[in-house]
Amino acid sequence: MNAEKKDLVIIGGGPAGLSAAIYARRSLLDAVTLEREALGGQMILTSEIDNYPGVPNADGFGLVEAMQAQAEGLGARIELDPVESLELAGESGRFLVRAAGGTYDAASVIVAAGAQPRHAGFDGEERFQGHGVSYCATCDGMFYRNKHVFVIGGGNSAAEEALFLARLASKVTVVVRKDHLRAQAAIVEELERNERVELRLMTSVVALDGGELPSSIALRDNRTGKTTVETYDEGSFGVFVLVGRVPETSLLEGLVDLDEAGYALTDDRMATRTPGLFVAGDARAKPLRQIVTAAADGAVAATSAAAYLGLPVEG
């Protein structure tokens, strides 16, 4: 086997991975960043990025291009190459990273593979993604100011995001397929008290239809099985799918402890229980999953990797 030796392999080219690539170069690490599909990760799932300091109303692609240019300008090597496995190379403490296009023998690894929003699975969900279907209320809520939004999901984060949306939207219809919400009683009470919120229990969204933007929504009553189609002016409403996220932690099996939802447990230096293996961004257990926190994690992880390798670090 012909494995290329590296100080550091960064898995994932979202904001956490790209920020790690920038900080790895600042420590003069010989690193490579491997991205499975397209640079930017979840940043390219939305037309407008909110809440990234200094770049109001950024478009996702523009921000990714700027991060990539900054990393490559410093000499970072970034490859489009999906990683298929990650393992410890015997007792050496080094890692074997197998990607479709090559194998790496790495002294340290940062996994910045992110998380995917869980999809609800109704007809039209993919078609209207970013144009009527959103997976992040904090990010996209502003686009629905004074509009009607449907929230799919009955867990704590769906309920909290529904309350957040009720401050912006004219009406929030929370659609829950069971006869109760899973969210904590206090949050459910708050939803019930909120005049802008309507709860539709035992209901599922089965389809969205329209032109550029959605203009109709089909809802099934799970008690009777009957589906009703509601029509609205095109673009006057949106659907937030808030049924959880799926962390991309399959590569970490056996190497890293995970919480009950599957997120990687790290310390505040992004270190895991395996020396030399760091996790940054949405894949790790943390209170806020946004671009700014992913970029911060990537910076800390690369600096921790440099320290682990005995190199002088900033800060």
Ligand X SMILES: Cc1cc2nc3c(=O)[nH]c(=O)nc-3n(C[C@H](O)[C@H](O)[C@H](O)COP(=O)(O)OP(=O)(O)OC[C@H]3O[C@@H](n4cnc5c(N)ncnc54)[C@H](O)[C@@H]3O)c2cc1C
Query: Shortest distance, CB of residue 137 to ligand X, whole angstroms?
Result: 10
Query: Per CB under 6 A, does 114 bind ligand X?
Result: yes
Nearest-angstrom CA–CA distance, 299 and 304: 9
Quick one: the chain helix, strand, coil %, rounded to 5?
Answer: 25, 30, 45
Nearest-angstrom CA–CA distance, 6 and 31: 6
Residues classed as catalytic: 136, 139-140
Residues 8, 10, 29, 49: which binds ligand X (CB under 6 A)? 49
Residues 82, 93, 121, 244: which binds ligand X (CB under 6 A)? 82
Given strand 203-210, what is the order of strands in its sheet?
203-210, 214-221, 227-231
Residues 235-294 binding ligand X (CB under 6 A) are: 248, 251, 281-282, 289-292, 294
- Residue with Cβ nearer ligand X (108 or 203): 108
Residues 6, 8, 10, 12: which binds ligand X (CB under 6 A)? 12
Name residues whose C-beta falls within 8 Å of residue 3's C-beta, 6 or more positions apart in sequence: 96, 103, 104, 105
Q: Which helix (H) or strand (E) holds 7?
A: strand 4-11
Residues 9, 14, 76, 304: which binds ligand X (CB under 6 A)? 14
Query: Per CB under 6 A, does 112 bind ligand X?
Result: yes
Assigned token pair, 37? 């599909």
List 226's β-bridge partners, or say none: none
- Residue with Cβ nearer ligand X (143 or 203): 143
- Residue with Cβ nearer ligand X (115 or 199): 115
- Residue with Cβ nearer ligand X (100 or 311): 100
Residues 4, 28, 51, 101: which binds ligand X (CB under 6 A)? 51
Query: Shortest distance, CB of residue 127 to ligand X, whole angstroms?
Result: 15
- Residue with Cβ nearer ligand X (129 or 274): 129
Assigned token pair, 122? 């109704």
- Sort residue 130 into left (φ over 0), alpha (ψ -120 to 50) or beta: left
Query: Shortest distance, CB of residue 16 to ligand X, whole angstroms?
Result: 3
Other beta carbons less than 10 A from residue 78's beta carbon: 19
Choose among 79, 110, 38, 59: nearest CA to 264: 110
Per CB under 6 A, residues contacting ligand X are: 11-17, 34-37, 41-43, 45-46, 49-52, 82-83, 112-115, 117, 134-136, 139, 248, 251, 281-282, 289-292, 294
